[in-house]
Structure formats: structure tokens, C-alpha cells
Structure 1
Amino acid sequence: MVGVPSSRGCNSCRKAKKRCDQKQPKCGRCIRLGEECVGSGTRRFKFHQYKPDVQTTQLITPPAETPSNDTTRLTAEFISLMEIDDDRFGFEAYGPYFFADLPRRIGSNSALDTTTSAMIASFQAIRLRKTADKKTFSLYGKALRSLQGCLSDDSQPVMLKLELVLMMMLCQVWIDNKHANKHRGVIAYLLKEAVSQGEILHSGDIRAWCLQAIYAALCDPKVELGSWFWDVAVQDTIMTRPYHYEQNLYCFELGAIGDLPVFLRDPERYLYQLKCYYNILSQERLVMKKLYEEAMVATLSTDASPACRMKAIEYASGHAGLLVQAALIGPTLNPFGVLPDYTQDSHEICDDAILLAHRCQTFRPCGASYVPELLKLVWASLDDGYRHEGLEKLMDEYAEDVQGASYLEEAKIMRLRLDSLGWSDEQRFLEEREDGPGTPPPCVIL
């Protein structure tokens, strides 16, 4: 071995540089001289300072350079958000599928760049739990002006406009969520334009677009879901087997949910349809609740994988979606006297919502972004004040996740709208039908 001394002589012979016969217990020289024989037969090592080869060092890749211009810097910031693997702050909870292709497109459109910058700054304010600074608001205002210019430009593709409005809506949700519904109305209009122009929507984004349009129609009577909506709703992946939640759940289909804005705007006319839908919903809530609880139990293990936690978030979102529908339809039907067990049902819905909100605390803020809407609706649906104090406490806790949140005030406005429901003075839909008074109206759901 290079660099290792070959001599195994004793220390005395090595010091005198004499050949040692290595006899035991003393070598011949030590016996003749009467010296102590130490270290005979021992192999010794000599360590050398490592000097790397010049050619080897040239093969080492130098560290990557920092982004040198605005485009590469913006791209790097967006990619860093997409790579967050913490389910509490994962961008995946908000991001549609077109986000995966967004880094490649940065730099191709000024409105896209300014909107992306505003979205990054707004999301960082949520992630760091801090108040948005002047820079965040400045970027938001700049992005809003760019969006207005893009919307008024007929040469810009409608899909680009649709994507920009969704990104601005996310900024609005994170900065001040009280005015996010205005963006949803624009999304519904642009979605109609995209469908009428024959645009091909990504299969993974169809559900997100349609749910925003439904939300807008529920909040704004000016938003109408025409035949264009059902043309695109039937393309949703959940309409194909196997179903997303492993069950044939009717109340998750976009076509069924899309009927609700029509029914809820005139509950007296569509009383029978709403009652049929509520009956189906009551059965499917139990199915989804079981799946959700199984997914949540799997996350209790200390070695639960990220995929396991993401599944729990997804199933909790599905369970919350059915509870939202129940909390919306139940109090709408109650004034008409067609739900004899409404009080018991509303209390069960409230209990499930509170339990879900407590369990989802570990997923806040991004992984539990759907919980506040559920809490608001459940609070508004209870006409007897059942567990209102617990709901209000949870709403205050979740309000810390976004700026400008006033969930209790929004819930009170919902309650006022529900109080105005009931039979009209004209009783216009109770006349006898030509085919006899006992014939029920046709059900458009079943």
C-alpha cells in the first residue's frame, strides 16, 4: 500500500535504522544491548494530507446562478410555491391544472406576469400569517389594471382571460375575501364565452370552473346558467366511472349541483324537486361521512404519509360539500313545512360541521380553506341558536387565516335572506292540475 511503512521492527531498531529479527519476547539486538524491546511485529500507518486531482475538480458542476432578470426571478418564485410539500400551505389546494404549465408561459404576456407577481405576494402573506404590506397592495392594483386592459382587448384569447380572473380571485380571497364573488361572476361569463367559442377545457379544470360559476349563480341573481353549462358539465371526470369518491354519489355531479341555483331562486315553484334532492342528499351524506372518517383515522398514525393526509383533506372537502348543500337546502324548505324532522337534521348537520372544523385545524390555512363557508351556512341555517357560540368561536379562529374576514357578519346576512322565505300570498303554484288534484308535479331530478 502506497504511503504505509513496510518495517515491523521494534522501536529501538527502527530508531537506530537497524534490521530487526522480530524475535519474541526480545529481538537479538535488544538482548545484546540490554534494551527494552517494544513494538516488535506492529504494523504502522502513516497518514498523508489529501490533495485532489486538478482534473477531478473540473468535473464538479458549479452552483447555479441566481435569476438575473425579472422573468427568470418570477419563474423561480412561482416554482418554489408549487414545490411546497406541506399540506397546510400547499399551493395545490388552490391551484388548477393550468398552473403546471404557467412557468413556461411567464414572460409571454405582461398581464400574466403582473397577475402572477400579485398572486405570489398575496399567497406569501397568507403563508407567513402577516398583514399584506404596501408592496402587496401595489402589485394587486397593478395586476387589476392589467386585467382590465386584457378583458377589454378582443384579440386576447378567452382562456387567458379566464385564467387571469381566477388568479385575481385568489388574490382577492387572500387579501380581502369579502369581494371575491364579483370575480366569480366574471368567471361564469367567460366560461360561457369559452364554451360558445368551442374552447377545449382541461379535464382537470372543468370542475373548478363550473363550481365557481355555480357559486356565482347562488350569490348573484344576474348570473344565469344556461344550456352551455350542462354542455361542459357532462365532461366532468366525476361523471365517468370509477367515481372519484369510490361511490355513485349523485349530489357530487355538476349537472345536479347546477340545478340548485334555479331551484333555490324560486323554492315555491320547485318545492317538489328540492324535496327530492334533499332526500337523496340525506342518504349520501351518511355514505360520504363514513369515507371521510376512515380517511381521517388513517392520518392519526405518527408515520402517516403525505398522500394519506392529502386524501384526508380531499375527503374532508367532499364531506363539507355535502354539508354545505344540506345547510343551504334545509332552511329553504323548512318554512314550507315539508321537513317534519328539520330541527333534528339541522342539529346533526351542525354537530358534523363543528367536528369537521375541529379535525381540520391541523390542515389550516390552505388545507382547510373550505371550512369557513360551511360554518357560515350552518350558523345561518339554525333558527334556534343551537351551538351558535361554538360556531362563532370557530369562525373567529378561521378568520385569522385570511385578511378582512368577517364570517359572522356574512352569516347574519344569510340568515336574513332565509327569514324572508315562505309561501307567497298568491299561492300561485297550488292550483289543481288538469289531470287531477292528486297528481304530483313531474320531478326533473330523478
Structure 2
Amino acid sequence: MPGVPSGRGCDGCRKQKKKCDQAKPSCSRCARLKMACVGAGQQRYKFKEQNGTQNAIAIPRRTKEQNGTGTTIIMPQRTKEEYTSFDMIDVLKTVPHTPSSKLTLATDEFVGTIKMSTSVRYNLVYWYGEFLKDIPARLGRNGALDTAVEALTAAHSSFCLYHRATPEALVKYSTALRTLRFYLDDPVKASSSETLCAVMLLLICQGFHGTSSVRWTGHCEGAAQILKARRYYDPNDEFESKLHLSLRGPVVFEGLFNPKIQFSPSEWKTLVDNHIDENTFPGKMMRYVSHVTSMIRHGHLRKGDSNDQKAVDELRTNYQTLKAGLKTYEDYMDSLKPIDKDLRKIAFDAHTYQLVERFYSFGLTVGVILACVLSAFDTEDKGLISDMNSFANGIMALAHHARLFKPLGASYMQLCFQAAWVGTTDPLVRAEAEKEMAEYLADFGTGYTIEQLVPEMEKISRHLRLIDPYTM
């Protein structure tokens, strides 16, 4: 019963016998009618009965020959080379694959969220990491990863179509959580890169479904425990290296505030070291934030005092290096934009510019964090206040361009807006940051209001300035 390929239109268009443009995440007809678009672009197969039992691959073509007694026998027709090179492994490789299982369909749906034809505004790979491209080849070997992929695909679809979590998406998310807990109870399974990947996927899912806290994600604590138990990543495993690159950021930034994420000073350093971006500006930024987190967690800091002068001196050096790097990035961004408006349409490398702009936004955010902590020691340095206002103004200047890539493409800006609010002394800039944060929270359906947000920002500001530790 072989599978015969059929159309790739969505279920709704196929049922009504309408032509489907197979757009992602929703075809134009379903988007216009506000219908759930299921199956657009997916290859389907019709199953037909095949007469006879001949296997054209495993059984070579036959010819009739006479033996010495005059009896006609059937002999395979092969060349000499075919006799010597025939291998059953080669046969198995040539058997046509007929996708029909639940896992294969889930894989096909997931691929739709990461392929290049999916809009930048909704593309998971572009905003969450290159490791996603390697996931399809790893499905079927780890139940936690399989269910996490199904949960992420459902969450992504419901978010893109309705900007809210559908019952189906929540059920798959709940199933993925139960499966992950089962795998985490097994030390061997818990330490696998596939299980770690499942944690990262559920972290992304939680962003789609909305969280009940501005700072807490929940899954970062689990990811931190796995990373702590593993102690290191395998640099020879490209998938694991790229996964570590994407996962370390949420853990380090949440570790600034979440006391449940605990590492020793050496473990904080190991957490952010990655050979892929070892000598790059983004890699250095992660090390700077990790250093500050380690100071706050282990330095017993009080405003204007520290028992580790070496760590404070390193913070000052990191801050000056960061400022120089930001100036370089700013100049590079300007060089990417053609001066002549007529040339901009054909000469503007939008992809590179967006990537540089994202790193620059994170750099401004890290600048605010480092300057806040440093201001607790260098209380007479008025330049730090000026720098933080400059960083905040720079973040808000990027807000308009970031809007072009909402919702997913601008999701990282929420962290940047929080930094702008903390760093500025200008009431107008702070009000603008509050407005942007409120819009972001509304996009992701967190249920958080601006009245709840402002007290959280006050606590974050006092925590970074080493006045009061952040509390729930």
C-alpha cells in the first residue's frame, strides 16, 4: 500500500475545493475568514492498493534461461559489477519513505516554523537560535523533545493566528511538561542534549502563552539545574554548542534576580564560555553580565562597599570595554545604511542590519546593568548617570524600527525597555518605556498591567543599584 503524493493546500481550502496559496502561518483565505489554518504547505499522501507482491527494489529484474536439462528457470539479470557491489544496506536506503506517523506530521509542521520562506516576524530560527534547524533530525529518540516540539508548534500557531493560547496548545504544553518531568527523574535522560533542548523549547512556549511575572520564567530554573549537573557542553557536538549558545542568555539574565538559580563564581564563568562566539562582542557581553551576576550572588555587596576589590576593578574594565564596543557597533550600523535614498532599496542589507541592531540593543541594555552596579561604588562619578541616560535614549530610538518586526522579531525589546526605564532620569523617556512595555505585555497576553509593572521596575532598579535585594 504505497503512498502517492497529493496536494499541499490547507484543510479548509481542500474541503471547499479552493486554491490555497500555502502561506505561513496562515493562508490568505483562512486569514481573511479568520479561520484556523491547518496543514498549509504540508505534503499529504493517498494510500492505494498495489497489485502483486513484486518488490522492484529488493528483487532485481529477471530473465528466462535454459538449464542443462532443458528446464526453463528464472534468473536475475545482473552485471558483474552488480554481483560484487550488491549490498542490503544500499537497498534499504533506496526504499521510498512514506510519511504517515504522528511524529512525521509533527516534524513537517515544525519545519514550517523555521524554513526561510516563513516571515521574519514569525520565524523561530531567526529570533531564537540556529539550533532549531538541527531538531528535525533528532526527533524520535527522546520523548521529552518530541512532545516539546508538538507543544511549540501548537503554541506558535495559536499565537500567530489568535495572539492567545488555544485549548489544544495548552493541552500539548501540559503533556510536554509531564513528559519532561519524567525524563528529568532519570539522571541519564536528564543529562542528554535532547532533554536540555526540550527545556529550551518549553521556555519559548511559555513566552507565547504568557507568564505571571515580569522576571520569572520558571523553566530557566530547570535549565540551570541541568547545566549545573552537566558542568560543560561538548564543543565537538555542533547541536549542543548552538543550543548552549541560545540557552545561556535567559539563564544568566534571570539569574540576576532569581535566587533559585545558583552557581559558584567559576560555574558562572563556565556557563557563558562558548567557542562559537568566544572572541565576539556578543560573547563578551554575556561574560560581563555573568560577572555582575556572580558579584551580586557571592560578593555580599552593600552600596558603596565590597569585600572583593578585584571584582569591582574588573567591572570597571568591562564597562569601559563595553562602551568602546558600542561605539564600534554604532558606526558599523551607520555604514550599512546607504546615504542616497534611491540606492537604499537595492543596496541595503536588511538582514545584517537587523542582526547588528539586535546586538546593539542588547549592548545598551548590558551597559545600563553594568553602570547601575558600578554607580553603587563610584557614587561621585556623574558620568555614569549621563551614560545611563544615553543608553536609555538609544534604546528608545530603536523602538520605532523594532515595531516593524513585531511580534516575535521585537520580543527581545521588552528586556531593553526595562533597562531604559531603570537607566533614565527623564520622566518622558520613562513614560515612553512604560508605554512600550505595556504594548508588549498585551501582545503576549501576560495579563500584567502597567499598575503592576511600575512597582516591579522600582524593585529591579533598587536591586541593580545594590540598595535592596530583589524579592517576589
Q: Which residue of 1 aligns with 2:209?
A: 175
Output the amino acid matched with 1:310: H
Within 2, Cα distance between the matches of 1:212 and 1:294? 31
Matched position secondary structure for 1:219: coil
Give the drift of 1:113. Answer: 2.2
Correspondent of 1:416 among 459, 463, 471: 459
Spell out, residue by residue over 1:381-411, the C-alpha distance to the aligned partner (whole angstroms, 9 max, x if none). Answer: 3345242222222223333431216384445
Q: Is the 8 A contact 2:165 2:208 kept in 1?
A: no
Q: Which residue of 1 aligns with 2:358?
A: 317
Q: Which of 177, 180, 198 does residue 164 from structure 1 map onto?
A: 198
Unaligned runs of 5+ in 2: 8-42, 46-98, 468-472
Instruction: Report the identity percentage.
Output: 19
Equivalent residue for 1:259, pick from 291, 294, 300: 291
The residue identity in structure 2 corresponding to 1:111 is A
1:330-345, aligned counterparts within 5 Å? 330-336=371-377, 337-345=379-387
Give, in angstroms, the shift of residue 197 of structure 1: 8.5
Alpha-carbon spacing, 1:419–1:71, altered in 2? closer, same or farther (3 Å) = closer
Aligned 1:172-251 pairs, distance under 5 A: 172-178=206-212, 181-195=217-231, 201-202=237-238, 203-226=241-264, 227-231=266-270, 233-240=272-279, 243=280, 249=281
Say which SS state the counterpart of residue 238 (structure 1) adopts: coil
1:74 pairs, out of 106, 109, 113, with 106
Q: Distance in 2 between matches of 1:299 and 1:229?
A: 47
Alignment CA distance shift 1:295-1:178 (3 Å): farther
**Does structure 2 conserve the Cα–Cα contact (< 8 Å) formed by 1:299 and 1:312?**
no
Q: How far apart, CA to CA, are the structure 2 residues paired with 1:303 and 1:124? A: 33
Q: Which amino acid aligns with 2:138?
A: R
- 1:177 to partner: Cα distance: 3.4
Partner of 2:427: 385
Q: How does 1:251-400 map to 2 (within 5 A)?
A: 252=284, 254-265=286-297, 266=301, 268-269=305-306, 270-295=311-336, 301-303=344-346, 308-336=349-377, 337-400=379-442
Give how far 1:253 is off: 5.0
Query: Within 2, Cα distance between the matches of 1:382 and 1:256?
Result: 21
**Contact kept in structure 2, 1:328 and 1:377, CA below 8 Å:** yes
- The verdict on how the C-alpha distance between 1:151 and 1:352 changes in structure 2, with shifts beyond 3 A counting, is same
1:161 is paired with a residue whose SS is: helix
SS at match of 2:443: coil
Measure the CA separation in 1 of the matches of 2:466 and 2:287: 27
**Amino acid paired to 1:315:** V
Cα 1:338–1:91 shift into 2, 3 Å: same
Corresponding position of 2:44:
65
How far 1:99 moved relative to its partner?
2.3
**Which structure is higher in RCO with an 8 Å CA cutoff and minimum separation 6?**
1
| Offset at residue 201 of structure 1 (A) | 4.8
* TM-score, normalization by structure 2: 0.67
Contact 1:320 1:374 in 2 (8 A): yes
Q: CA deviation at 1:77?
A: 0.5
* Distance of 2:189 and 2:421 partners within structure 1: 43
Closer/same/farther in 2, CA of residues 112 and 271 from structure 1, 3 Å limit? closer
**Structure 2 Cα separation of the partners of residues 68 and 401 of structure 1:** 36
CA contact 1:250–1:256 (8 Å) conserved in 2: no
Which of 79, 85, 90 pairs up with 2:123? 90
SS at the partner of 2:155?
helix
Distance 1:208 1:156 in 2: 21
Q: 1:225 to 1:412 in 2, by over 3 A?
A: same
> What amino acid is the match of 2:44?
E
SS in 2 for 1:177: coil
Q: Cα offset for 1:94?
A: 3.9
Query: Of 148, 159, 167, which residue of structure 2 is paired with 1:126?
Result: 159
1:198 positional shift: 6.3
* Deviation sequence 1:226-276 (CA, Å, 0-9, x none): 334534644332224xx4xxxxx4873543332120234436315444333
2-side partners of 1:135 and 1:347: how far apart? 45
Cα distance between partner residues in 2 of 1:164 and 1:378? 32
Is 1:82–1:92's contact at 8 Å kept on the other side of the alignment?
yes
SS in 1 for 2:345: coil
**What do residues 107-128 of structure 1 show as CA deviations (whole Å, max 9, x unaligned)?**
3333322211110111112322
Work out whether residues 155 and 165 of structure 2, in 8 Å CA contact, stay in contact via their aligned partners in 1.
yes
Q: 1:75-104 deviations in whole A, cap 9, x for unaligned? A: 110111121432111111344344223223
Alignment partner of 1:205: what SS? Answer: helix
**Using the alignment, how far apart are the partners of 2:128 and 2:415 within structure 1?**
19
Over the aligned positions, Cα root-mean-square deviation in angstroms equals 3.2
Distance 1:415 1:291, change over 3 A: farther
Partners of 2:222 and 2:366 in 1: CA distance: 23
Q: Give 1 or 2 for the bigger CA radius of gyration.
A: 1
Deviation at 1:166, TM superposition (A): 0.6
- The 5-angstrom pairing of residues 30-45 of structure 1 reads none
Residue aligning to 2:11: none
Quick one: distance in 2 between partners of 1:286 and 1:376?
22
Aligned residues: 356
Hey, what's the Cα distance between the residues in 1 that align with 2:106 and 2:282? 42
Cα pair distance change 1:204/1:142, threshold 3 Å? closer
Evaluate the alpha carbon distance shift between residue 131 and residue 235 of structure 1 in structure 2; reply closer, same or farther with a 3 A threshold: closer
Cα deviation for residue 298 of structure 1 reads 9.0
Classify the secondary structure of the residue corresponding to 2:242: coil
Q: How far apart in 1 are the matches of 2:161 and 2:418?
A: 25
